[in-house]
Structure 1
Amino acid sequence: MSYRVDFTVISKAEHESRFALTLHNLSDQPVEKWSLHFVINRWIEPTSVLNGQVKQLGSYCVITSEELPLLASNSHFYTEFTMGTAPFTLHDDGIQEAFLVANTSVGFIKPLPVEVTCIDLGQPAIDRFTTKLPPAKALNIIPMPASVTPLSGRFKLTQSTAIASPNALASGAARWLQEELTELLHDDFPIHRDGNIHYQAHPEMAEGAYRLLIEQDNICLQASSKSGFTHATSSLLQLLPANPEHYAAAAYSIPMVDIQDQPHYPYRGMMLDCARHFHSIKRLKHLIAQLARYKFNTFHWHLTDDEGWRIEIDAYPELTRIGAWRGPNEVLLPQFTTINQRYGGYYSKQDAKELIAYASDRGITIIPEIDIPGHCRAAIKSLPELLVDPEDKSQYRSIQNYPDNVLSPALKGTYTFISNVLTEICELFPAPFVHIGGDEVPAGVWTDSEACQNLMDQHGYQDPKELQGHLLRFAEEVLQAKGKQMMGWEEATDGDKVSKKTTIFSWRSENAGLICAQQGYDVVMQPAQFTYLDLAQGYSADEKGVDWAGKLPLDDVYQYRPLAELAPEDPAHQQIIGIQTALWCELVNNQSRFEYMIYPRLLAISEICWSNPQQRNWDDFKARLNGQLKYLDKAGINYRHCE
């Protein structure tokens, strides 16, 4: 590599750190009129730069030097700067990628590759965090069923085994089982009237409850609902041997057992950020199959953000023509990783329909998220004539370091945009819910907009946050007219304009969820400190991930119990409808890292979502997790090893 960047911590305090950056020209040619482009997820204070000048938008930074326009061969450029941050503890906190540009006066950017060395944190090494797993159990179902009664004997799954023609409620679960067994046996697995795997309707059973009875000659999956049949199917699939050594004798051997079970929480979800990095439909299908296997019932699809718009909208083709792509020469500048080229992607409506159908057979509801009014930079840059007020002089910087990512509530175009987009989303997604985000609108927005101030006067609003509530109430009315219920992050309650029919997702802390529950909102608990899978899984510097909400090892995930400190009779408990985990993908841009961040923590979250807290047992879970690792290996999943 002809160019290299070294990045080093040179001083650190509780809330401020200073860094040294050195750019080396290792080539035999000088570089004229150069600029260094790199990404880092913290704000560089421009006035603190020792040499050169820095411009930053989001995570994308450009350093130039008018004092040193020529970077000579075998020389280097050195600078220092300060970031208002607690001391870094992870290598992922450092510079992720960089490229060099020569002759910056030329309009088209032609990146020159730059090697980025691992950040020197100036701290002693910390041993890798481990979790010792006891021997696997005879039955290793996750999440733990309410009742498991082992029976004497085994059912042999042979080439003569078939699924009996299912009832309508079980048709999706039967297709799922058929697909899994076809893949397992490398042969088409039949469904016909005389099969010995029976889906049986039992109307007296509760929603989501199931019974799985495996006898010597028959398997019975009993439920009263579509969800119950998928739950029974997931338990059956977990009882199949992970290693097919029995197939050499023309049979898989499954333990005979009687399982009776039902979920503790009705909502059990995972949110995936596909805006920061695009994830293919193939990757999403594989994830949804695992969510179903571990009895989740919701896939929350984060489709839009500052760094990308990922869903096709017929009314505004610019959203995907412009907003789905970023790069050095794109309207959206590079962010996070893959910064030296055009990067992105989007889902066509046909892609979405395909994924919805796939998820439906597995009992997974897909809830789309269109984030408003913040996190809208991709939309604003795609549709400036509709969404930009040139008279707005407000100054703000979002937590992700953008000064231009919030919709204006004073523009007619904003309401046209929201109405048209949400109408198409409602038509595309059959789920009864649509998530509208509503988070992280920064202070300072709308304060220096004459049109926004006039709108506040018109409605008697005293606080700019009421403008956010004004917009979100409009979105809620659009959704209600389409027969949909609105969901949002906890900040959706800011301005006190949305109805109590809005379901709130609490992410900043558990206490934030408690406050919303006490106000009468239904709440899905998603506190970052216990559920965010982008957090590092240990304490050593080479752990992948971030730590803004702390580290999150497997052990801590399993211990989470919503509102555990409240008395059992406290009415706030009744407002908690479930738990959701999340993977934010600023640094997740490939399958290997994707899986490493999710597994095995996803299995722990499945149990805290499903099982009664009084039933949970950490040592028992670890043994069952050990029994699940053979399946993860067979599935080729790059999970983080516990030991």
Structure 2
Amino acid sequence: MNHFFVFLLSSLSICSPAQTPPQEKTSPNRTVQTAQQPLRLSWEVLEEKHQGKNQTLSVFTIKNAGTTSLPATGWSLYFHSTPSFKPTDANAPVKTESINGDFLRMVPTAAFKELAPGASQRIEFVAAGQIVNESRAPRGFYLVWDKEPSKGHTIADVQIIKPARNMVGWIESKDIYVQNSAIQEVATEKLTKVFPTPAQYKETEQPFVLTAAVPVVTDKAFQNEAALLAAHLGTIFSAKPEVKTSGTGKAIRLQKKNGMGPEAYELQVTSQEIIISATTPAGAFYGTQSLKTLVPPAALASKQTSVTVPGVQVKDAPRFGHRAFMLDVARNFHKKEQVLRVLDMMALYKLNVFHFHLNDDEGWRVEIPGLPELTQVGGRRGHTVDEKNFLRPAYGSGPEVDQSSGSGFYTKADFVEILKYAKARHIKVIPEVETPGHARAAIKSMDARYDRLMKEGKKAEAEQYLLRDLNDKSVYRSVQYFNDNVINVALPSAYRFLEKVTDELLAMYKEAGAPIQTIHFGGDEVPNGVWEKSPEVQKLMASNPSLKNIDDLWYYFFGKLNTMLEKRKLYLSGWEEIGLSKVRTNGRLSYVANPQFVKENFHVDVWNNQGANLDLPYRMANAGYKVVLTNVSHFYLDLAYQKEYDEKGLYWGGFLDVDKPFYFIPYDYMKSIRVNDDNKPLTNTAAFAGKEQLKPAARGNIVGLQAPLWSETITSPDRLEYMLLPKLLGLAERAWAPDPVWATNPESGQSKAAYQQAWSEFVNVLGKRELPRLSYYAGGFGYRIPPVGAQVQDGKVLANVQFPGMTIRYTTDGSEPTATSKVYSGPVLEKGTIKLATFDAAGRASRVTTVENRQIPQ
């Protein structure tokens, strides 16, 4: 699970309880305006490791850009940041207050003086942790007048100033150049032309010329797969090929062949026909996807009259049956149309599980018939004094309701459409309903329902789905700083709610005709302190001898959930905590695999393989749990690609480029931990000593791999696709392709050489085939284009790129490179400021790399 700001906890003091927005406090001698006040805000880092501690000194400047004075009192600035964001001076002109989560308020103190037009107020702040990139900058500022506490005024003029010097060890262009230097150019004709890499592949030099006149002749069992293939070919040609169940002559043939695996296929391309053989529709589908990747990517750029498909013989089947991508739509919402595009891309690369993270503290995103508040309240965010109609902003979503990615949900019809779309592409959708923690949106929604029905005099109905004990005085703070986000597991109404949600989801699956075997019920990051002062909990424990302490409520809750799912012929999925027990030894807390649920077919997505939990995925598999490796070290797609200020994404769990998923070794992943959290080569392996390895007998408990994309910083389709691609292609390769030869003994010289060859082939395939394809596939994807690696050597600028096949362009006059700038073909001899950028096949560019090539003194 995603720990936003988790790296701050070691130096973060406990925050005060949640506070309500300020009440009116205007001066009796002044009438405070309530119109928008033009303000110009800026924020800049001054010093990392301030006072020798893990904290950052920054400066915040408020400038009055209007024509009237900003009064000394009567207003608040709301924004989002870590609650540790505090003024350095006890007598500062403002103070910050934590409201809940990442939501803060800045209010003037007695030291704040009226700010005249054009005047500025400068305040220094300190916050825990280091600022590696803009993801930790304060954001989402808006102004609220005390006279009009329910109205927020967005401040659009906010400048985040990039530090002028390298204070935290950002990667430099010369470092990227060295990394890229190990990549070898591989001729296009020598590349494997099916992706992910198939189990058996051979080129036969018998190409097939494909046109719109070539029909798709299919076994009746594969008509859906044939129709999807024909539809795709219709985007390449001016007409869609005909789909038939019989016919002679040149054709694409989908034929049934018994005895093959559930997802296996064979693909043969000769000069006379293309034959895809499989036992199941899924196998036939993956054969058609391989055929798609055989088509030259340039054919997708414009309408074609014919396309030459290389002659091949392929026998293929996946390594893992569970090849998953998880999308978080709770923190920021992603529309149905974007989800469908993602499903298209997943299908192309043979990913077969879509883990749909539908709710969290900051949002509930699917309509549940009979519970309208879940989406009316829990699916919307904006400025509010009481959260009766919608939730407060989060992650900079702003004060306006329904005006940002903070708001949105899928109607029942939307969800059914997504399920049908996924089913047609052989993708199983696993819905996630986060419980009992990360449930604030659901809790607040059911509070709103309770209030509505109580006003109507319907007390029993009001209490039917209540998720909290109204008399609970427990005090806690979650990793994301919430103090009211955990469902009370002693309430019968909590289980009625979960049964209601489950049954409504199942009804949608039934309507869609989509398969469902499991529901993911979360289970992670429930903080200490919950339930301790709940009368309902105390009552339950008094009546149930098996509940000896608060920790036992955990097993009670998931035991009841498991029973509920078993009655519906489903199994329980969750994050690793659903299969863990707390053990306290000499006051120290640790987690071990819980033997109580081992035989209950719990499936656990294990993300935490850091620190003391380095071996946790293997410990759980060895204990008998079904484990999906979701390792933060190699698969968390929301992490920034590189340690660079202009690189988007989080960095609490390290950094993640396309290479980390590629070199992941599922059955021995500790050997694929090559760098530390700072992205520096790992030199100290003492942390590996004594860690539990995966037992051979437990390999079958590793059911698959998963890459999650958490959306705290992902507010647009462009940002989503940038963080998703090309990283996800590394996961696709490792989940499908056979175990590579270099993984057997990765530390040997021979294996290192084999890895380097495999890595070179992989990035050549991406740069010359798959990324050009994705420029146009399903409307085109905005994948990340890597920046140029460059260094000055002997008075010349040398440059290279991570993906061979992409074009480097440069300028020497200080201007930004464009698609018409000079192409880099060798060392640049010109002196001065050299600016370089990488361009893809569609003409999109990377961020600019700037190199100073100065005259060498004689």
TM-score in same-fold range (> 0.5): yes
Structure 1 position 150 matched with structure 2 position 191: no
Paired position in structure 1 for 2:318: 263
User: Following the alignment from structure 1 to structure 2, what is the Cα–Cα distance between the partners of residues 100 and 602?
Assistant: 40
Instruction: Confirm or deny: 8 A CA contact 1:487 1:504 kept in the other structure.
Output: yes
Q: CA RMSD in A?
A: 2.3
Letter in 2 for 1:35: S
Q: Matches of 1:350 and 1:294 in 2, distance apart?
A: 27
Structural mapping, 1:279-318, within 5 Å: 279-318=334-373
**Are residues 241 and 308 of structure 1, via their aligned partners in 2, closer, same or farther at CA, if it must alter by over 3 Å?**
same
Q: Does 1:628 align with 2:728?
A: no
Structure 1 residues 47, 396: closer, same or farther in 2, change over 3 A? farther
Instruction: Give the match for residue 244 of structure 1.
Output: 299
Contact persistence 2:435–2:522 (CA under 8 A): yes
Amino acid at match of 2:45: T
- The match for 2:475 among 362, 379, 395 is 395
Does 1:606 pair with 2:729?
no
Q: Is the 8 A contact 1:142 1:603 kept in 2?
A: no
- Cα distance in 2, alignment partners of residues 350 and 306 from structure 1: 24
Aligned partner letter, 2:618: L
Conservation of the 8 A alpha-carbon contact between 1:37 and 1:100: yes
RCO greater where, 1 or 2, for CA within 8 Å and sep 6 or more? 1
Task: Report what 1:174 is aligned to.
Answer: 226
Match of 1:426 among 502, 506, 519: 506
Residues 3-41 of structure 1: CA deviation (Å, up to 9, x unaligned): 21324244525533343322222222122322111112x
Query: Which range is displaced more, 265-274 or 622-631?
Result: 622-631
Q: 1:446 to 1:258 in 2, by over 3 A?
A: same
Question: Which residue of structure 2 lines up, in the alignment, with residue 62 of structure 1?
Answer: 105
Structure 1 residue 314: Cα displacement: 0.8
Cα separation, 2, equivalents of 1:80 and 1:313: 47
Q: Is the 8 A contact 1:173 1:233 kept in 2?
A: yes
Equivalent in the alignment of 1:161: 214
1:505 aligns with 2:605: yes
Q: 1:453 to 1:489 in 2, by over 3 A?
A: same
The answer to whether residue 498 in structure 2 is matched with residue 445 in structure 1 is: no
> SS at 2:42's partner residue?
strand
Q: Deviations over 1:233-267 (max 9, x none)?
A: 11001111222399988311111111111111111
TM-score, structure 1 normalization: 0.94
Distance 1:31 1:211 in 2: 72
Q: Secondary structure at the match of 2:704?
A: strand
Superimposed CA distance per residue, residues 418-472 of structure 1 (whole angstroms, 9 cap, x where no aligned partner): 1111121222233211111111111111112232133234333234232122222
Q: Does 1:351 align with 2:391?
A: no
Residue 319 of structure 1: aligned partner: 374
For residues 632 and 610 of structure 1, what CA distance do their matches in structure 2 show? 19
AA matched with 1:397: R
- Tell whether the 8 Å contact from 1:159 to 1:250 is kept in structure 2 after alignment: yes
Compute the displacement of 1:199 (Å): 1.3
Separation in 2 of the partners of 1:22 and 1:116?
Answer: 10
The answer on 1:98 being equivalent to 2:141 is yes
The one-letter amino acid paired with 2:241 is F
Match of 2:636 among 532, 535, 545: 532
1:24 aligns with 2:63: yes
**Kept in 2: contact 1:246–1:252 (CA 8 A):** no
SS in 1 for 2:131: coil
The 1:613–1:43 alpha-carbon spacing in structure 2 relative to 1, beyond 3 Å, is: farther
1:92: how far off?
Answer: 1.8
Q: Is 1:113 matched up with 2:155?
A: yes
Shift of 1:47: 9.0
Hey, what's the Cα distance between the residues in 2 that align with 1:466 and 1:568?
Answer: 29
Output the CA distance in 2 between the equivalents of 1:538 and 1:601: 12
Q: Is the 8 A contact 2:378 2:442 kept in 1?
A: yes
CA gap of 1:19–1:190, structure 2 versus 1, over 3 A, is same
Label 1:568 to 1:380 Cα distance change in 2 as closer, same or farther (>3 A): closer
Q: How does 1:223-234 map to 2 (within 5 A)?
A: 223-234=278-289
Change (3 A) 1:15 1:519: farther
Tell me which residue corresponds to 1:127.
172
What is the rounded CA distance, in whole Å, between the counterparts of 2:334 and 2:124 in structure 1? 36
Structure 2 CA distance for aligned equivalents of residues 415 and 383 of structure 1: 13
Distance 1:472 1:173, change over 3 A: same
Distance across 2 between alignment mates of 1:439 and 1:73: 50
Aligned residues: 639
AA of the residue aligned to 1:361: A
Amino acid in structure 2 at the alignment position of 1:192: K
Q: Is the 8 A contact 1:476 1:498 kept in 2?
A: no
Whole-Å separation in 1 of the counterparts to 2:731 and 2:304: 37
3-state secondary structure, aligned to 1:341: coil
Q: Which residue pairs with 1:462 in the alignment?
A: 548
Q: Secondary structure at the match of 2:396?
A: coil
Which has the higher mean CA deviation after the structures are superposed, 190-199 or 238-247? 238-247
Structure 1: distance between partners of 2:86 and 2:642: 33
SS in 1 for 2:729: helix
Match of 1:3 among 19, 23, 40: 40
Report whether the alignment pairs 1:371 with 2:434.
Answer: yes
Cα distance in 1 for partners of 2:693, 2:421 equals: 41
Residues 487-636 of structure 1 mapped to structure 2, 5 A cutoff: 487-495=573-581, 496=594, 498=597, 500-509=600-609, 511-564=615-668, 570-615=696-741, 617-626=758-767, 627-635=769-777, 636=780
Taking the aligned partners of 2:284 and 2:564, their CA distance within structure 1 comes to 34
Residue 164 of structure 1 deviates from its aligned partner by 1.1
- Asked if 2 retains the 8 angstrom alpha-carbon contact of 1:172 and 1:360, the reply is no
Could you tell me which amino acid in structure 1 is paired with residue 146 of structure 2? T
Q: Confirm or deny: 8 A CA contact 1:10 1:20 kept in the other structure.
A: no
Deviation at 1:205?
0.9
- Which sits farther off after the overlay, 351-360 or 9-18? 9-18
Structure 1 unaligned regions, length at least 5: none
How far did residue 119 of structure 1 move?
Answer: 4.6
Query: Identity percentage over the alignment?
Result: 29
Q: CA deviation at 1:485?
A: 1.3
Counterpart CA distance in 2 for 1:47 and 1:4 is: 16
Task: Show the counterpart of 1:137.
Answer: 188
Distance 2:723 2:607 in 1: 18
Q: Distance in 2 between matches of 1:286 and 1:246?
A: 18
Structure 1 residues 77, 458: CA separation in 2 closer, same or farther (over 3 Å shift)? Answer: farther
Aligned-partner residue type, residue 158 of structure 1: T
| d(CA) in 1 for partners of 2:506, 2:88 | 48
* 1:4 counterpart SS class: strand
For residue 519 of structure 2, give the secondary structure of its aligned residue in structure 1: strand
TM-score by length of 2: 0.71
Post-superposition shift, 1:162? 1.0
Match of residue 472 from structure 1: 558
Is residue 413 of structure 1 aligned with residue 455 of structure 2? no
Contact 1:270 1:582 in 2 (8 A): yes
Question: Structure 1 residues 467 and 119, CA, compared in 2 at 3 Å: closer, same or farther?
Answer: farther
Q: CA deviation at 1:561?
A: 1.2
Change (3 A) 1:532 1:49: farther
Whole-angstrom distance in 1 between the partners of 2:422 and 2:659: 29
Residue aligned with 2:666, SS: coil
1:15 paired with 2:54, answer yes
Residue type matched to 2:648 in 1?
K
Task: State the one-letter code of the partner of 2:316.
Answer: D
| Structure 2 CA distance for aligned equivalents of residues 522 and 244 of structure 1 | 42
One of 236, 245, 262 as aligned partner of 1:193: 245
Q: Which deviates more from structure 2 when the two are superposed, residues 8-17 or residues 364-373?
A: 8-17
| Distance in 1, Cα, partners of 2:120 & 2:517 | 58
1:253 to 308, 315, 324: 308
Give me the whole-angstrom Cα distance separating, in 2, the residues matched to 1:476 and 1:466. 15
